[in-house]
Structure formats: C-alpha cells, structure tokens
C-alpha cells in the first residue's frame, strides 16, 4: 500500500486483539491505533452532553468534533462507556464520520497496526495483513472479569458474561460495518493461547507475508 504498511486486527471484545496489536506494533515499528477508543471517546461526549444515544445525527455531531486529545480522557475503559460505545457505533452516520480519522492515521508513514471490528473489512479492505482474533465467550468474560477486579471494581461474573454477550450481538448484528471476519483474515483463537504465544504466531505470519525484515528482532 504506497510504501506504508497496515496490519488490521479485528475481533470481539476481550479476545486479546488490543494486546496483540500493541505487541505487533512494538515488534514491527509501526504505530498503533486502538479504534475502540475512538468510539469510546464519542460515547463519553454523548453521555456528557446528555444526548440520546439512539439519535444518529446527534451522535454524529459529537463524532465530527472529536479531537485526538479526547482519546486520552479518563474513564474511557469503563464498562458503562464500552456499552454506550457499542450503541453509538451502530449508527452509519457515526461510522462515516470516523472512517477518515482512521484512514489518515493508518496512511501516515510508516503505517500502523489498527485493532477494531471492521478494520479489515471496511476501513482498510486492502490491508497488508489481516488478523481475526477470537476466543470462547466464557474465556473472554473471565478475562474481562479479572481485569475489572484488578482495577478495584466490584464485578459479578454473570453480569460481565451477559454484558459481553449483548455487546457481541449488537456489534455483529448491526446493519453498518458489523463485526465479521474478512475473507482473507487469518484467525487467531486465544481460548487456549496466552498473549506471548498469540504474538509469536502472528509475527510468524507477518514475517512470511512481508519478509523477515518487517519484524525487528
Ligand atoms: O474494542 P472496544 O471494546 O474498546 O470497543 C468499544 C465498542 O466500540 C465496541 O463494542 C464496538 C465499537 N467499535 C466498533 O464498532 N468498531 C471498531 N472498529 C472499534 C470499536
């Protein structure tokens, strides 16, 4: 892709795509963008303004005013924001407003590893390498539960499992850019794979596709 390299890492919530994308970026020297943070930042702006998350145009207005500094807002990782992000992200208006931001980021040399839901299908259908990272829903819920507990939040496993299943359904069934594996994406199932093993597997594929020099030691 015009001298820049784009690696797309898509998958459902808590599958390990963020961890994998960060490691891939560190080992290739590419930049990293967690596209979920963009939707989370818009959700935070919508909540703050008291807008109706069902109103696509109102949400789009927030998306259009998004600035990079908004991605650094505290609390964006909260479960409440994640849930709202999944609602806000279902609007075509919002997705259209945010696709340019992601493409500009990815096309800035030397390129980027971008994780999300529709990076390999919609945002960068011509990405150099595409991964679809997934895991059994209970394994993902257990990870998310551990993460919340380690952050000092009181979390009930049943509630986490339910919230995650609802988010999976919303992200997969929405009409615009639903979560789905690109035909040419390589699946990495992390149910029984730790982060280091998943990264090695992905790096092997990157080396194979882009040449050994694409991976720094
Ligand atoms: O990856 P995450 O959990 O931080 O994402 C939060 C929500 O944002 C997710 O439920 C769906 C939405 N999202 C999206 O629709 N497209 C993306 N590329 C990334 C996230």
pLDDT at 134: 96
pLDDT at 67: 86
CB-based contact 41:66 (threshold 8 Å): yes
Q: Output the residue whose Cα is nearest ligand 1's atom 4.
A: 36
Q: Please write the tens of the pLDDT for every residue from 169-202.
A: 999 999 998 999 999 999 999 999 999 999 999 9
CB-based contact 39:98 (threshold 8 Å): yes
Q: Output the residue whose Cα is nearest ligand 1's atom 18.
A: 116
- Please report, for residues 2, 103, 105, the alpha-carbon distance to residue 171 in angstroms, rounded to integers and kept in the order given: 31, 21, 23
CA of 10 to the centre of ligand 1 (A): 10
Q: Which of 79, 171, 185 best tests ligand 1's pocket when mutated (most atoms within 8 Å of CB)? A: 171
CA of 35 to the centre of ligand 1 (A): 7
CA of 154 to the centre of ligand 1 (A): 23
End-to-end Cα distance, the chain: 23
CA of 83 to the centre of ligand 1 (A): 9
Burial of 209: CB neighbours in 10 Å, binned 0-12, 13-18, 19+: middle
pTM of the model: 0.92
pLDDT at 99: 95
Backbone phi and psi for residue 145, each to the nearest 5 degrees, phi listed first: -60, -45
pLDDT at 109: 96
Domain 5-210 class, CATH top level: alpha beta
Ranges under pLDDT 70 in the chain: 1
CA distance 123 to 116: 10
- Cβ of 171 closer than 6 Å to ligand 1, yes or no, is yes
Domain range annotation of the chain: 5-210
CB-based contact 146:40 (threshold 8 Å): no
- Please report, for residues 48, 140, 163, 195, the alpha-carbon distance to residue 91 in angstroms, rounded to integers and kept in the order given: 18, 26, 20, 32
CA of 5 to the centre of ligand 1 (A): 22
Asked, as a colleague might, if the bond just before 110 is cis with ω within 30 of 0, I would say yes
- Please report, for residues 14, 47, 55, 104, the alpha-carbon distance to residue 41 in angstroms, rounded to integers and kept in the order given: 18, 10, 17, 18
pLDDT at 153: 83
Q: Output the residue whose Cα is nearest ligand 1's atom 6.
A: 36
Ligand 1 atom at minimal distance to the Cα of residue 14 = 3
CA of 160 to the centre of ligand 1 (A): 16
Burial of 33: CB neighbours in 10 Å, binned 0-12, 13-18, 19+: buried
Q: Hey, what are 101's tokens?
A: 């931001």
- Cβ of 13 closer than 6 Å to ligand 1, yes or no, is yes
Q: Output the residue whose Cα is nearest ligand 1's atom 9.
A: 86
pLDDT at 1: 63
Backbone phi and psi for residue 151, each to the nearest 5 degrees, phi listed first: -90, 5
CA distance 64 to 60: 6
CA of 211 to the centre of ligand 1 (A): 31
Full DSSP string of 131-158: EEEE--HHHHHHHHHHHHHHTT----HH
């Amino acid at each position: 892709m015009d001298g820049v390299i784009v690696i797309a890492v898509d998958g459902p919530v808590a599958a390990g795509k963020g961890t994998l994308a960060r490691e891939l970026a560190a080992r290739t020297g590419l930049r990293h963008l967690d596209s979920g943070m963009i939707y989370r930042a818009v959700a935070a702006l919508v909540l703050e303004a008291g807008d109706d998350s069902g109103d696509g145009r109102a949400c789009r207005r927030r998306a259009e005013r998004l600035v990079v500094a908004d991605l650094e807002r505290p609390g964006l990782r909260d479960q409440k924001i994640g849930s709202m992000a999944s609602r806000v992200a279902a609007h075509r208006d919002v997705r259209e407003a945010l696709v340019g931001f992601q493409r500009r980021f990815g096309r800035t040399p030397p390129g980027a590893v971008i994780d999300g839901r529709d990076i390999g299908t919609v945002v960068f259908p011509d990405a150099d390498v595409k991964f679809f990272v997934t895991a059994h829903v209970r394994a993902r819920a257990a990870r998310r539960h551990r993460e919340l507990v380690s952050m000092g939040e009181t979390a009930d496993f049943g509630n986490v499992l339910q919230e995650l299943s609802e988010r999976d359904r919303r992200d997969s069934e929405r009409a615009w850019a639903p979560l789905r594996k690109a035909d040419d994406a390589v699946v990495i199932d992390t149910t029984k794979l730790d982060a280091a093993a998943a990264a090695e597997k992905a790096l092997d594929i990157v080396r194979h596709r882009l040449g050994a020099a694409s991976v720094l030691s």
